């Protein structure tokens, strides 16, 4: 009866209805709350099976594009009291998007287009830092070349907007179900991403089902609390339901016993009441008892319970005794092996466990398979990528199994095992790509804390903080501080480390996301106030982040506040750059008149100052405005004007301007795009940017 959903008829009905509604391009969002042992993970697996059956029934041999695609992801559980999930910005979203890309036959060139396009000059001001900007684009081009060889996806540097762009593109063509287990461990950036989807869920063919544990969520004040609070207050036209996984009742136990099956079972109140009394209706405990009884003949051919059922010597008096019987059937080596596995986590890998056992992977898999077949305490989830390696993933089938074997470790064993896991991950970290390092750093930090290795823990926490700084994620750094506080004794006296952490946090605009669940929309837009203006580069980066997060009203409010503050000492070019960001936000809000007035103002300033770089930037914004208004001919005219100006600019600015023009024209005037690309090609070769020319050729001519 693998993944047969017992009870939960309200959830099943809602989920089936939502699958039907997907045919009309209508989505839904379902939240499912449950304590440990309530069956959250089992339910998610059951819904996955139900979707597969639905696709087979309704589509059969039809093309895959007509079916509903499934993505299933898990929140990263803490390592001890070290919470790793919220320390990796956009982790959950990156997993979702990569799953979608695995389904899509997208080419590396199209993946590159997610990162590079008309945003080069028109969306993000680069005046004064063009060489740096060009370096960033060159790095993306190197990724493109790598992808052409490996087909691996790396969108992390693109961050929020690129993920959202791809998600919207995907769901404009396909129906999608996203199943998220333990969403309460998600990072704040992923939470905000999901909120943007949830707000318009009734207009897109996406169903999201997410489980969470109330105690962990509230006791630790995790980011997902903000979604719960917003859902309570939001006046949104959305299809949303929340469910609670309540304990089983007699009816559920009856259904469970029949599908297991227990031989000759018919409805028997005495048996069901006994199960309820022993299990308190907790689904995982009910499952333990029924699995145990399925091995014995409890009922005669007429379906009657055998005599003296309650006095039978084989009857387990408690769940501990029942579990003890399973343990008695295992050898000491098997029990020790599962304790070793628990050091890696509820999920563990063949490659790590073989390292801990100092044996080859095949022998490890053989031993784990025997335990899986004989006890059912663990199961294999097949081969997946983990830590940058493809390896077989296993997991404990019940949360209390994991807890038992984890607690069975002696103090010295626990410390030594975490030390070995941390050492293995550090080896992978030292040879990993930049993206993989981002994922490994919090894991290494968690295992290092458990191993009481303060030096390595501090190094990896600091590395995670530096990564968070790239995302302007103060929440991630504050989570790092929470982890430090939870392990205060370990980090006591590490003054240089904590000072470095505070310096990183100081560089980020703390007020960007510093709102609680009771903050109104108006208060949220005012939350950009800060005591001291940071250096312009950091200030601008924070505003760009607001823009990429599609928080356009906040973007405008922040810029107006800075430009209107006489105490803020900015150069004219810096003020102009902020104004161009405001223009982009106004265009996105479709406040075209205001955008045009501001564009005219900045353009006249640029002409008066004879600043051709700024003129080129403003003209690109003109083109964006006209394209947003559907005035293609005016947009092309402006782009041609920018082309004429580009001859007066530095080589890097010329290349970026022409690349921007060629990319934009490709969509509206492909013949003109070729003309500009030919000009760009010649300038690339003249400047020695041959790789840039070659890769852009693939993009411009890709149909």
Instruction: Give the pLDDT means over successive 10-residue stretches in the chain (703 positions).
Output: 77 92 90 92 91 80 63 85 80 80 46 35 34 40 39 44 81 90 89 88 91 86 82 72 92 88 83 89 89 82 76 74 83 95 94 94 94 92 85 90 92 95 92 79 92 89 79 71 74 67 62 39 30 54 72 84 77 78 85 90 84 78 81 77 68 64 70 76 69 61 50
Q: How many CA atoms lie within 13 A of 249 on its CB side?
A: 6
Q: What order of strands is seen across the sheet that includes strand 389-396?
A: 347-349, 389-396, 378-386
At 59 the pLDDT is 65
Q: Cis peptide before 261, with omega less than 30 degrees from 0? A: yes
Query: Do 112 and 557 touch, CB atoms closer than 8 A?
Result: no
Q: Where are the alpha helices (DSSP H) in 4-156?
A: 9-22, 40-59, 91-103, 108-115, 119-122, 130-150
Give residues with Cβ within 8 angstroms of 246, minimum separation 6.
281
* H/E segment holding residue 591: none
Query: Do 484 and 448 touch, CB atoms closer than 8 A?
Result: no
* H/E segment holding residue 5: none
> What gap in Å lies between CA 565 and CA 667, rounded to an integer?
41
What spatial distance separates the first Cα and last Cα of the chain, rounded to whole Å? Answer: 48
SS3 207: strand
> What gap in Å lies between CA 587 and CA 346, rounded to an integer?
48
Of 486, 342, 344, the C-alpha closest to 403 is 342
SS3 68: strand
Give the sign of the dihedral formed by CA 624, CA 629, CA 635, CA 638.
Answer: negative
**Which architecture characterizes domain 571-700 according to CATH?**
Alpha Horseshoe (1.25)
Q: Cα 64 to chain center, whole Å?
A: 25
Pairing of strands 28-33, 206-212: parallel
For the chain, helix (H) and strand (E) counts, in that order, are 34, 8
pTM, to two decimals: 0.63
What residues does 378 pair with on adjacent strands?
396
Q: Where are the alpha helices (DSSP H) in 451-531?
A: 454-470, 474-486, 488-491, 495-507, 521-526
SS3 172: coil
Q: What share of the chain is helix, strand, coil (3-state, %, to 5)?
A: 65, 10, 25
Angle at 547 between CA 542 and CA 550, to 5 degrees: 130
What residues does 347 pair with on adjacent strands?
395
Query: Do 695 and 141 touch, CB atoms closer than 8 A?
Result: yes
At 92 the pLDDT is 86
> What gap in Å lies between CA 316 and CA 113, rounded to an integer?
62
CA distances from 549 to 195, 469, 555 (A): 11, 16, 10
Query: Do 283 and 42 touch, CB atoms closer than 8 A?
Result: yes
Token pair listed for 401: 């199994």
Q: How many CA atoms lie within 13 A of 101 on its CB side?
A: 23
Pairing of strands 378-386, 389-396: antiparallel
**Which architecture characterizes domain 9-244 according to CATH?**
3-Layer(aba) Sandwich (3.40)
């Amino acid at each position: 009866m693998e993944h047969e959903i017992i009870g939960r008829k309200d959830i099943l009905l809602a989920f089936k209805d939502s699958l039907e509604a997907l045919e009309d391009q209508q989505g839904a969002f379902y939240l499912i709350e449950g304590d440990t042992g309530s069956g959250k993970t089992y339910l998610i697996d059951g819904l996955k099976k139900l979707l597969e059956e639905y696709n087979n029934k309704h589509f059969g041999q039809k093309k895959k594009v007509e079916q509903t695609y499934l993505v299933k992801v898990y929140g990263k559980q803490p390592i001890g009291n070290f919470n790793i999930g919220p320390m990796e910005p956009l982790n959950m979203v990156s997993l979702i998007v990569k799953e979608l890309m695995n389904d899509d036959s997208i080419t590396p060139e199209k993946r590159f287009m997610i990162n590079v396009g008309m945003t080069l000059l028109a969306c993000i001001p680069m005046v004064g830092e063009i060489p740096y900007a060009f370096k960033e684009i060159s790095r993306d081009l190197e990724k493109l070349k790598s992808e052409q060889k490996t087909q691996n996806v790396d969108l992390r540097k693109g961050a929020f907007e690129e993920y959202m762009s791809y998600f919207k593109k995907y769901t404009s063509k396909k129906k999608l179900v996203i199943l998220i287990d333990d969403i309460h461990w998600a990072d704040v950036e992923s939470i905000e991403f999901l909120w943007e989807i949830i707000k318009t869920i009734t207009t897109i063919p996406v169903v999201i089902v997410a489980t969470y544990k109330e105690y962990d969520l509230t006791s630790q004040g995790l980011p997902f609390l903000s979604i719960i609070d917003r859902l309570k207050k939001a006046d949104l036209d959305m299809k949303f339901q929340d469910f609670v996984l309540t304990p089983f009742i007699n009816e559920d136990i009856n259904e469970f016993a029949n599908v297991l099956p227990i031989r000759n079972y018919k409805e028997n109140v005495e048996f069901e009441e006994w199960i309820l009394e022993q299990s308190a209706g907790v689904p995982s405990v009910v499952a333990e008892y029924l699995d145990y009884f399925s091995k014995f003949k409890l009922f005669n051919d007429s379906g009657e319970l055998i005599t003296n059922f309650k006095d039978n010597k084989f009857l387990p008096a408690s769940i501990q005794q029942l579990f003890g019987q399973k343990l008695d059937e295992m050898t000491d080596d098997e029990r020790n092996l599962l304790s070793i596995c628990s050091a890696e986590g509820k999920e563990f890998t063949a490659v790590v466990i073989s390292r801990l056992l100092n044996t080859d992977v095949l022998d490890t898999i053989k031993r784990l398979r025997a335990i899986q077949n004989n006890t059912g305490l663990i199961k294999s989830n097949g081969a997946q990528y983990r830590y940058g390696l493809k390896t077989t993933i296993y997991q404990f089938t019940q949360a209390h199994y994991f807890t038992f074997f984890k607690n069975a470790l002696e103090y010295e064993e626990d410390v030594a095992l975490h030390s070995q896991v941390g050492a293995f991950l550090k080896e992978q970290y030292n040879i990993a790509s930049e993206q993989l390092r981002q994922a490994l750093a919090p894991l290494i930090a968690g295992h290092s804390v458990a191993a009481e290795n303060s030096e390595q823990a501090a190094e990896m926490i600091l590395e995670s903080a530096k990564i968070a700084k790239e995302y302007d994620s103060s929440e991630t750094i504050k989570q790092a501080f929470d982890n430090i506080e939870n392990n205060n004794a370990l980090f006591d006296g590490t003054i240089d480390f904590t000072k470095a952490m505070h310096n990183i946090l100081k560089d980020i605009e703390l007020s960007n996301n510093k709102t609680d669940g009771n903050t109104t929309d108006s208060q949220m837009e005012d939350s950009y106030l800060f005591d001291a203006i940071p250096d312009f580069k950091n200030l601008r980066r924070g505003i760009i982040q607001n823009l990429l997060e599609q928080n356009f009203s906040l973007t405008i409010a922040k810029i107006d506040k800075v430009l209107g503050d006489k105490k803020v000492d900015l150069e004219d070019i810096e003020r102009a750059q902020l104004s161009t960001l405001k223009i982009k936000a106004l265009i996105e809000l479709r406040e075209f008149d205001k955008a045009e007035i501001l564009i005219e103002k900045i353009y006249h300033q640029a002409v008066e100052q004879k600043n051709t770089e700024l003129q080129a930037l403003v003209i690109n914004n003109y083109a964006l405005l006209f394209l947003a208004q559907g005035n293609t001919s005016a947009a092309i005219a402006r782009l041609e004007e920018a082309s004429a100006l580009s001859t007066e600019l530095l080589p890097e600015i010329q290349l970026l301007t022409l690349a921007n023009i060629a990319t934009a024209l490709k969509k509206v005037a492909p013949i003109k795009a070729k003309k500009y690309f030919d000009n760009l090609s010649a300038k690339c070769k003249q400047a020695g940017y041959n790789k840039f020319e070659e890769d852009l050729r693939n993009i411009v001519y890709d149909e």
